Amino acid sequence: MNASPLPHPAEWQETEGLLPPTERDLPAGRHQFHKERLMAQIHDEHRTTAPTGPHKPRNRFLRPAIVWPVAACALAGAIVAGGVLTGRGADTGHGVATGPVLTTDIGTASASGTTRLLDRISLAAGQAPTPQVRDDQYIYIESTTADTYVKTVDDKHSVVSEKPHRRQVWESPDGKQGWLIEPGNTPDGGETLNSPYAAAGAYNDLVTLPTDPDALLKRFYEESKGQGNSPDQAAFEMIGDLIGESYPPAGLEAALYKAAAKIPGVVTVNDAVDAVGRHGVAVARLDEVSGERTEWIFDKKTYTFLGERRVQVQRGENSNPEDLLIKPGTITFTSAITTRAVVDNAKETPSRTS
């Protein structure tokens, strides 16, 4: 579906990276799990309890700059409005509560009309209000989210899911200050995300990105080189990072969708459901190595971004025994963005202060 007259983006020559290398301590992309400021804490807290294997809980800060402590425990149960997410049994071990595996019908994917759909989504994004953020304010994102992963207890592997749960994130424009509240994954009242280092990929970095889709996509291929299972998938994931748990500035979100339309293998799924049960149309891409399809879900009428989910569509290539436990139809990750706002203080919500 790549209608761009340019060569395949992965063949472009390297130029300056997407984000300043002096402010990055890990490569860009979804698989950047840990920054140095949390490594010791994660190691100490999860030495004996963290899930293992390739499907451990993913980084649910859906941008390169922010890091969350890997959850030591998942919550019990998994029900989403309308009964879309169903369970296939529960598993517990070492006191860690786990829930039924999240599953769904695998929707049919088609490349037909995907470019046109992304044009409409881009147009809607370009007309939507965009934030004006002062340096002393915070980007606030509230969502509902859940992971599915392979858990290992006494050398026995099982697939478990979290219960979809509320998640609140505050981040300063430079990414140096932040707060996370996620019951079950943070202490009561949440935990600080403060760092002395400016976070690459924070709002102040986003405002510097080009809004020309070709230039933007070129940088994504350069910045994600060597990441993921293919250059196309890595670029698609990088765009997903920026439209997920963030608040793109004026012009950027529209350009991101235009850029996504130029990536080979991007398709449409006519019906997909986010983590709070909202039905929408999805722009998606299948990672043929993992067999997992990433779906960006949009409202069918307004084309507003609703959330993201990942669905195991087929057996992955070169799967190991643990991978094979993730059966087709399993939702490996689900999220729903419920609030995006600019607030004056950390732990402040648009309706009240805490």
Write out pLDDT tens, residues 256-295.
Answer: 999 999 999 999 999 999 999 999 999 999 999 999 999 9
Query: Mean pLDDT over all residues of the chain?
Result: 77
DSSP code at position 273:
E
* Domain parsing of the chain, residue ranges: 50-343
Q: Roughly what angle, to the nearest 10 degrees, separates helices 213-223 and 252-260? A: 70
> How far is residue 3 from each of residues 9, 116, 267, measured CA to CA in Å?
12, 11, 14
The amino acid at 304: T
pTM of the full structure: 0.76
**Residues facing residue 140 across a β-bridge:** 170, 341
DSSP 65: T
DSSP characters over 148-213: EEEEEETTEEEEEEPPPEEEEEEE-TTSS-EEEE-BTTB-TT-EE---SSPPTTSHHHHTTS---H
Residues 61-98: tens digit of each pLDDT: 333 332 222 222 222 222 232 333 333 333 333 223 45
Q: What percentage of the chain has pLDDT greater than the value 70?
A: 70
pLDDT value of position 245: 87
What would the pLDDT profile of 18-35 be if each residue is shown by its tens digit?
A: 443 333 233 233 233 223
325 contact partners, CB below 8 Å, separation of at least 6:
150, 157, 158, 159
How far is 328 from 313, CA to CA, in rounded Å?
5
Residue that is written with structure tokens 């490594």 in the block:
39
